[in-house]
Amino acid sequence: SAQYESLSWSDWKDKVLSTAQALAAQGIGRNDKVAIMAENRPEWTFVDLGALSLGAVIVPIYPTLALPDVVHILRHSESKMLFISSPEISERISGLKAAECPQLESHILFGQTDFFKPGSARLDPEGTAYLRQVASVQPDDVATIIYTSGTTGPQKGVMLTHRNFMENARMAQAYIHLGEKDVALSFLPLSHVFERLAGYYFMIAAGATIAYAESMNTVPQDIRLVRPTVAAAVPRFYEKVYTRIMEQVRAKSPRAQKIFHWALATGRRYQNAKKEGPVSIGLRFLYLLASLAALRKIKQAMGGRIRYFISGGAPLSRHLAEFFYAAGILILEGYGLTETSPVIAVNSEDDFLFGTVGKPLPGIEVRIAADGEIMTRSACVMKGYYRDPEATARVMQDSWFATGDIGQLNDRGFLIITDRKKDLIVTSGGKNIAPQNLEGLLMEDPLIQQAVVIGDKRNYLIALIVPRKDEVLKRAAKAGLATQAWHELVQSPAVRAWITAVVEEKMQNKAHYEQIKYFALLDQELSLESGELTPTLKVKRRVVMEKYAPVIEAVYREGDRLRMAQTAQERRPSS
């Protein structure tokens, strides 16, 4: 099993101090760019805080990013140094040519260097010059340039200042209450602004302990070992946990399944009653039985001490939030963008409403434009896009930042996100449709892993659907189909019939123009590696539509044929 080593605050301070001195000895100073391409680990923070102490600028790079994207970021940011975390990453970037990144002077591999050893660069034993240097760094100096892997267009470098981050952490403390007794498990990439603020700077500000997961694959083990009280995660994490729980439930006897669903319903009644006021003795007793029967196992799988999770990076399904709440695990969904450092709004322990992203933080202004776009203004809004004043001007309107998201504020002040502005489907009939709502609805079913709804400038909607492999294989085994190869199984009439039943059931309460009429089944999951997803696992619609253009056209051709045949049938006089 993994072993965790502790690091005190004073040990950490010494590491940051010696790293800052080592960076200074390498010629790093004010406004120099230092890139980090690494998984989460303490050294990430040593380099980050060490460089920030000198007035330098951190450029985080996702460890999984393709080489051309890495070259673009290093070149565009003019990074002088690059820190990497493993020989595997070193091997991947071995193709970097000096001519492509002329400013890059060196790259350093964590674990194979004396860079972080105290004394290796002790030019200033008392840290006097270091403190003088820290004092010279100004709140509005750029702290980081984060390249957004947006769902459209080339990556843009978002310039965030020290003030942006500090104000965001300060404002968030009004809604998210943490202290020195809290333990956070960090597993979302620090290269993403969500973990950088919520799982790192915010935790430092609260004095909480941060434990770094060994890897994304070991999170289920790490969470039981660390027993965190809080963690930040994207919706995909909760989807995977939910799927695993429901698979285990479906494998049990009908009686055990009945008990589980009773326990969940009781948990829901108890939590809702608790929100309203004192809970009756009878319901408290039933909840105790429900916990013993099923619910406590879910909490134990999360370590047993979790106070709440913070969810961000993509929309969280209301169904998932309510499921975990019934099991006694509160997920506080928030909302923000890289450009807003990032948190704009978040639910709080004392004031939450599922299906919303909470209320704007104190000090953050939010208004809804005439076309439904969410606009925001605060001390957390970025300085601009690095070396791209035109792109900056496109999103800044009289000090208001245009988020590109469509939403509304309800009568209680909670913000509801309905879709990305650029993702809105406008049918040929002029109907505006939010595809994410429909996709979330489809993906609630255990048979559907991923769904992408298409229909812009068309007269009806279709979907590309990736079936959930383990669920399909289980059903196929029962139906005697398991001997087929996966790609053949996905296209079999049986699987198509199962998915058709799900689509029809999910669409029955939707308006006629919102209903998905036809679909194609894909045997390959959409992935980050293939460029179809962003690092926060949002679908890059343009990429998907280009890649699957022949499939999409084939679905529409067949759909048109079936619709014409149906129209002809309806027009035929009855005998």
Q: Note the pLDDT tens digit of each residue in 22-76.
A: 999 899 999 999 999 999 999 999 999 999 999 999 999 998 887 888 999 999 9
Which tops the pLDDT comparison, 167 or 67? 167
Contact present, 234 and 313 (Cβ < 8 Å):
yes
Helix residue ranges, H only, 177-317: 193-196, 202-206, 219-226, 235-250, 254-276, 281-290, 296-301
Distance between CA atoms of residues 370 and 367, nearest Å: 10
Rg (C-alpha) for the chain, rounded Å, is: 26
Contact present, 157 and 386 (Cβ < 8 Å):
yes
Nearest CA-CA partner of 535 in 332, 355, 338, 241: 338
Judge whether residue 2 has pLDDT over 60. Answer: no
Distance between CA atoms of residues 228 and 274, nearest Å: 24
Share of the chain above pLDDT 90, in %: 68
Distance between CA atoms of residues 15 and 5, nearest Å: 15
Which segment of 122-126, 376-380, 396-400, 444-448 scores lowest on mean pLDDT? 122-126
Mean pLDDT for all residues in the chain? 91
Reported as type and span, the H/E element at residue 52 is helix 42-53
Which segment of 33-42, 126-135, 510-519 scores lowest on mean pLDDT? 126-135
- 3-state class of 59 per DSSP? strand
- 3-state class of 56 per DSSP? coil
Grade residue 358 by pLDDT with cuts at 50, 70 and 90. Answer: very high
Grade residue 244 by pLDDT with cuts at 50, 70 and 90. Answer: confident
Task: Tell me what pLDDT residue 302 has.
Answer: 94
pTM: 0.84
Grade residue 317 by pLDDT with cuts at 50, 70 and 90. Answer: confident
Judge whether residue 119 has pLDDT over 60. Answer: no
pLDDT, tens only, 172-195:
999 999 999 999 999 999 999 999
Judge whether residue 520 has pLDDT over 70. Answer: yes
Half-sphere CA count of 39, side-chain side, radius 13 A: 14
pLDDT, tens only, 71-102:
999 999 999 999 999 998 998 888 888 788 99
Residues in contact with 171: Cβ distance below 8 Å, sequence separation at least 6, in sequence order: 343, 361, 362, 363, 364, 378, 380
Share of the chain above pLDDT 70, in %: 96
Grade residue 245 by pLDDT with cuts at 50, 70 and 90. Answer: very high
Q: Which amino acid is at 493?
A: P
Judge whether residue 111 has pLDDT over 90. Answer: no
Contact present, 471 and 502 (Cβ < 8 Å):
no
Grade residue 153 by pLDDT with cuts at 50, 70 and 90. Answer: low
Distance between CA atoms of residues 466 and 574, nearest Å: 41
Task: Tell me what pLDDT residue 121 has.
Answer: 45
